[in-house]
Structure 1
Amino acid sequence: MTTLSLVIRPERPEDAPAIERLQARAFGPGRFARTAYRLREGAIERWDLGVTASVGSFLVGSVRMGPVRTGAVRFVMLGPLAVDPSFAGRGIGGTLTRAAIEAARQAGEGLVILVGDAPYYSRFGFSPIPPGRLTLPGPVDPTRLLWLELTSGFCAGVSGLVEAVRT
């Protein structure tokens, strides 16, 4: 866990430029080619579910969630989770992930999906999506496609191609 004086708060629209700079530092230009990034591109934001972490006036972490759907079933996708490389390994990513999951739960969301490292995200309750159940519009290692059911039974009705909600 971190010993920093972190300020964790909901994301605000005016945070967008600092978050873009943070994502560039954390992921570099290769982020634009990833399927999860392309899925989120042009999609609407759920400002009520995004969370930031700051030390003083410096934004050191951010996690966002966006609405996605399969057919008429809507849920949310976590990501990107970004932590400034100079602050890595201090528990900031975990703090942000827990805060975002709690925000989704409080907002009444039934399901959170993500593309990420199963050993890291399993500690928050995420598990691999059964093969063939959900697909993304591009290549994704199926072992990295994870979900966390927030409402019991919600996953039973979820299958198909995941699309971003754009309006």
Structure 2
Amino acid sequence: MIAPAEQALSYTQEQPADAVAIEALLDHAFGPGRFVKSSERVREFALFRPDMSFCAWDGGRLVGSVRMWQVRVGDTPAVFLGPLAVQAAGRKFGVGGELVQMASAAARAAGFPVLLVGDEPYFGRFGYSAAPCRGVVMPGPVDQRRVLALGADKLEGPVRA
């Protein structure tokens, strides 16, 4: 059972010791299909940024995670958000939204725009939009309408290391 956010949930910066629990959560949330997505291609070459990645905990149990990866979009340094995973029971308490806001704020404080592949109705409430991303080229097939950014007027070019 997950407690309401104002009670027992705590949020921490990701630590190396969290990796096993995060992988288990990602396996549960996305299954093996996560490895064929264009976003996974980005994570294969991007630099992991644990300083901008966060976990949500209910006591000692991981209930949510968001990871960030340093990339370039064309010549523009940026960070790539994802995956974002939250146990089903935690979704009604806003765990995912809190994680997105924390990761986005960390990226913006470090001077990076944020890129992701996701649903604009969900991420739009945090300021993400497809408008700056028309010229973004992801590694592999992707629905261009789902390529979103925050903190950039225009991103253009291939996503690369």
| Same fold? TM cut 0.5 | yes
Cα shift readout 1:8-42 (whole Å, capped 9, x = no counterpart)? 01111111111100100111111011110122124
1:84 equivalent to 2:81? Answer no
1:118 equivalent to 2:120? Answer yes
Aligned to 2:158: 161
For 1:5-16, list aligned pairs within 5 A: 5-16=8-19
For 1:57-96, list aligned pairs within 5 A: 57-96=60-99
Greater alpha carbon shift after TM alignment, 114-123 vs 39-48: 39-48
- Is the partner of 1:162 in helix, strand or coil? strand
1:73 Cα deviation (Å)?
A: 2.2
- Is the partner of 1:139 in helix, strand or coil? coil
Aligned to 2:111: 108
Query: Could you tell me how far apart the structure 2 residues matched to 1:86 and 1:134 are?
Result: 34
Say whether the 8 Å CA contact 2:55–2:62 is kept in structure 1.
Answer: yes
Cα shift readout 1:56-115 (whole Å, capped 9, x = no counterpart)? 100000001101113432110111001012323221000101111111122222x10100
Say whether the 8 Å CA contact 2:53–2:67 is kept in structure 1.
Answer: yes
Letter in 2 for 1:141: D
- Normalized per residue, which structure has more helix? 2
Identity among equivalent positions (%) equals: 46
Query: Could you tell me how far apart the structure 2 residues matched to 1:112 and 1:104 are?
Result: 7
Report the TM-score, using the length of structure 2 for normalisation: 0.90
Aligned to 1:35: 38
Say whether the 8 Å CA contact 2:54–2:67 is kept in structure 1.
Answer: yes
RMSD: 1.7
Say whether the 8 Å CA contact 1:25–1:85 is kept in structure 2.
Answer: no
